[in-house]
Structures are given as C-alpha cells and as structure tokens.
Structure 1
Amino acid sequence: MSNIDYPQLLDYYKIAYAMPNPISYHDTRLSQYFPPHSNHRASTLHQDQHVFAYIRWYNSTNDNEHRDEGIAICLPEFSADNYHSILPVHCIHLEVATAVDVTDMNEKRMLVIPMPKKYYA
C-alpha cells in the first residue's frame, strides 16, 4: 500500500475498530480489538483478520438489465478512493470477470460477472 492510500486505511480503522482518532496504524494496538487476551471476545474475533486488499471499485449504475443473471452493470471508470477501498481479505467471497460493453447509443459500460466457485465437501 502506498503512502497515498494510507489515509483510507486510517479511515477504515476509525470505523471498523471504533477508533476515533488514530494518527498511525501503530495506534491500533490501543483498540479493544487488538489486545492478545484470550478471554476478550473482541480480541479473538479480530486477531487473525488484519490482512487487507485495496480495491478499486467501478462506479455503479441503476441499470438492472442483467441483474437476474447476477451481472452488475457499471460505468467504465473507478469511483473515488475512500475507506470502502480497504477490504479485509476474509470478506472476499469470489472472483469476478469484467468486460467492456458498448450500448446501441455507443455508450461504454462495464459488465461485472461473478465467477462461480466449486466447493468441495
């Protein structure tokens, strides 16, 4: 993660870990979610969930043309980076494929298609 993206990580910590004013990620050890006490429920809940992905999201549209097929239609540009760009990797459930589509009106849009995953018992 670059220094440019660092403010988004701090904003994420403020919200996800109830930390109103962290100055750096080193301040996170003061949060109730980070103490390594085995009897502290919040600590055991979050102690292995501190690996993040930095996501660039496409701008969404109100176009529901293929929603029944599980396909999201987005604008072909990314939304502004903010704390939503930080995502704990355990929250990533599947991969997606993207494709550029051009409408009859010659407008570009992005198709975001979930890739099915095979689960083994």
Structure 2
Amino acid sequence: MLICSGDGPNRDGAVQLMFAEMQMLTPLVPTREVYFVRYCKQLSAEQWAIVDVSIDKVEENIDASLVKCRKRPSGCIIEDNQMVIASGQAFGARHWMATLQLQCERLVFFMATNVPTKDSTGVATLAGRRAS
C-alpha cells in the first residue's frame, strides 16, 4: 500500500506499507508474518537508500497474531552498477554455487554431533565455545 508516492517519476522519498512472510532455514520455526514501512530515498544519480521499520498496528481488523513478530530496523544502499549486471557476473552460476556451498557448509557444521569441543592441546574450539 502506497502511503506517500514520493517526488518525480522515480518516486524519490516514497513511503510504502509492506507485508512479508518470513521463513527461517529450519522447519522447527514456523513462518512469521510482519508489517513494516519502507522508505526509499535517492542519494545521487547512482545511489538509493532503502530503510525498513516494523510497525505494531496497521488496522483495527488485523489479526493479533501478526503483531507478535517484528522485523528489526534495517536498510541498505543500492548503487547502480550496470557493468557487473550486463556482464552476467552479478547473477551468474558461479555466484549462486558459491553461496549455496557456503550455506551447506554452515548447515553441516551446526548439525554435526561429532565436532570436538577442544583441540589436541586442550584449547576450546569454536564448537566448544558455542556449547558452553
């Protein structure tokens, strides 16, 4: 839902009410639904800032269970980089494969039950520190 359309054809300064369904990387945590406000501001010809902030109450008839989950305030700066996108490197298979590989390694580490808590010299490992 558009709250403020912003200025000009590029909608600089637009404010929107957003709804999102958040999913965790585990089946043990149920899907969460949140409402938040998104503000978009053009910083320069090539840069945009986008900020998201959760809100508690949108309307009287909104399900109360939606208010239980909040998204932390967040934001990012987006910079136009047509050369990287036009070359195919930004969304190429190598990038996706590297991301998937890293995620798989993290999951294997967190699911492992045989990770030693101390190394051969008796110093606590990263897994040992997390278990403490």
**TM-score scaled to structure 2, two decimals?**
0.28
Larger CA Rg, structure 1 vs 2: 2
Q: Which has the higher contact order (CA 8 A, sep 6+)?
A: 1
**TM-score scaled to structure 1, two decimals?**
0.30
